[in-house]
Amino acid sequence: MQYRPFGPLEWPVSALGFGCMRLPTTDTGAIDEPVATAMVHEAIDRGVNYFDTAWPYHGGESERFLGRALQGVSNDRAKVATKLPSWAVQEPEDMERYLTEQLARLQREHIDVYLLHNLNRDTWRQLVRLDVLAWLDRVVADGRVGAVGFSFHAGFEVLQEIVDAYDRWSVCQIQYNYVDEFYNAGTRGLQYAASKGLGIAIMEPLLGGRLVDPPASVRALWERAANRRSPVEWALQWLWDKPEVSVVLSGMSAPEQLRENLACAERSAIGVLSDEERELMAEARDRYLAICPTRCTGCKYCEPCPNGVAIAMLMKALNQGIMGDDLGGARRQYARMAEGERGSACVACGVCEEQCPQGMPVSEWMAYIHQVLGEGRNYDPAERP
Ligand SMILES: NC(=O)c1ccc[n+]([C@@H]2O[C@H](COP(=O)([O-])OP(=O)(O)OC[C@H]3O[C@@H](n4cnc5c(N)ncnc54)[C@H](OP(=O)(O)O)[C@@H]3O)[C@@H](O)[C@H]2O)c1
């Protein structure tokens, strides 16, 4: 495993980090604990030393799972990051309550990196009003937290405001991949946070898995490259190529994915891509975005829908139907879904929209997806919500 400096932290972080939001699951949707535990141990044995979880992942079970999986593993070998659910904090006492519960779930007295989760302009300003920075000072001083940071899903100006507001940030976690080069914080945000000395953790490096199987127009580009790489490896090396990137967090739902990503990490290096390959990746981004219908990465922060609509599944069906040039297949999949899960069951209550890190007008999308997949409306990019 290769290691990289991690901002001001005294320990280097493994180039590949383990994201615990998309763990292997059983048929019932529960974490497949034997498989997931074996993956965590295999990752540690291969040098992965950073595990990222959060309060809501896997319906609250991810932190508990990680707590059990890391029993008996020394802190030198496995650092844990988890996050304050910023959207749920209404009063100062809530911060203390969540941290206490998270320490219990993780069965630890110390969390190595504690992030303010999913910051955007609103969540950030609300937390500032509740004096979150003074609270962070206290939890570091009393030893319950080793270092603090934030995960982020908004534009560059907000990132800059947050970075500049506090001189004790250690880690900035952003959604970043070759398709999202100019989206949210983008490269500008990456470089800004790194220039201020923060360690950078990358989330959604494969756009939630969507870059695993890119459209034919993107694959065709890579045929021209001298180096043969899988779509996963192109995406991951694009990140490790950059000196600002500390750790690439990968959600891995099967042991084979872990092994492939470990192998990619072994081959990684700053400057691993040639100038020609960087240009190819820029063209890959443009080709991908030209046909990509929705921004949904399937993170499921929007779920569970109070009305039972299968939001992420519907977004995925449309994305795959359009990008895989198989709208017929997507329509057949839609027809097989239970009526209560379909876009037509959306009552536009807006609960999902408060949670969507991509800021998508989910209710409008549900109505639109129903028209395209359920009623045969023509898909026209110009008419998307
Ligand atoms: N703080 C936040 O707001 C936030 C938001 C999102 C994520 N995160 C964190 O960042 C981590 C990484 O983000 P992510 O989970 O979205 O990562 P990602 O790498 O973009 O997507 C993970 C998905 O990619 C697929 N995949 C990964 N490696 C693969 C391989 N070698 N071959 C084939 N498919 C592969 C799997 O899809 P399938 O399961 O479909 O096979 C996996 O579930 C998360 O796990 C979480 O810890 C944080």
Token representation of residue 101: 């519960």
Q: 150: helix, coil or strand?
A: strand
Confidence of residue 183 (pLDDT cuts 50, 70, 90): confident
Query: If you search the block for the tokens 């901002």, which residue do you land on?
Result: 7
Asked if residue 295 has pLDDT above 90, the reply is no
Asked if residue 361 has pLDDT above 90, the reply is yes
For ligand 1, pick from 114, 202, 257 the residue to mutate: most ligand atoms within 8 Å of CB.
257
Atom of ligand 1 nearest to the CA of 209: 24
Q: Where is pLDDT greater, at 198 or 122?
A: 198
Task: Evaluate whether 321 touches 330 at the Cβ level (below 8 Å).
Answer: yes
Instruction: Give the C-alpha separation, 87 to 321, whole Å.
Output: 33
Residue range 25-45: average pLDDT?
97
Task: Evaluate whether 88 touches 95 at the Cβ level (below 8 Å).
Answer: no
- Residue 142 amino acid letter: D
Confidence of residue 382 (pLDDT cuts 50, 70, 90): confident
Atom of ligand 1 nearest to the CA of 357: 3
CB atoms under 10 Å from CB of 286, counted, come to 12
**Predicted pLDDT of residue 336:** 92
**Predicted pLDDT of residue 91:** 94
Q: Where is pLDDT greater, at 255 or 290?
A: 255
Instruction: Give the C-alpha separation, 369 to 344, whole Å.
Output: 9
Token representation of residue 186: 């983008």
**Predicted pLDDT of residue 322:** 86
**Predicted pLDDT of residue 381:** 87
Instruction: Give the C-alpha separation, 213 to 230, whole Å.
Output: 9
CB atoms under 10 Å from CB of 131, counted, come to 12
Vertex 99 angle, CA 97 and 101, to 5°? 70
According to CATH, where is 3.20.20.100 located in the chain? 3-290
pLDDT in tens, 51-64: 999 999 999 999 99
Pocket of ligand 1 (CB under 6 A): 19-22, 52, 117-118, 151, 153, 173, 203-209, 212, 232, 249-253, 257, 260-261, 297, 299, 357
Report the CATH superfamily, name and number, of domain 3-290.
NADP-dependent oxidoreductase domain (3.20.20.100)
Nearest Cα neighbor of 196 from 181, 205, 185 is 185
Query: If you search the block for the tokens 């959060």, which residue do you land on?
Result: 54
Asked if residue 262 has pLDDT above 90, the reply is yes
pLDDT in tens, 106-118: 999 999 999 999 9
Asked if residue 290 has pLDDT above 90, the reply is no
For ligand 1, pick from 124, 212, 297 the residue to mutate: most ligand atoms within 8 Å of CB.
212
Instruction: Give the C-alpha separation, 188 to 160, whole Å.
Output: 10
Task: Evaluate whether 254 touches 217 at the Cβ level (below 8 Å).
Answer: no
Q: Which residue, judged by its Cα, is nearest atom 22 of ligand 1?
A: 251
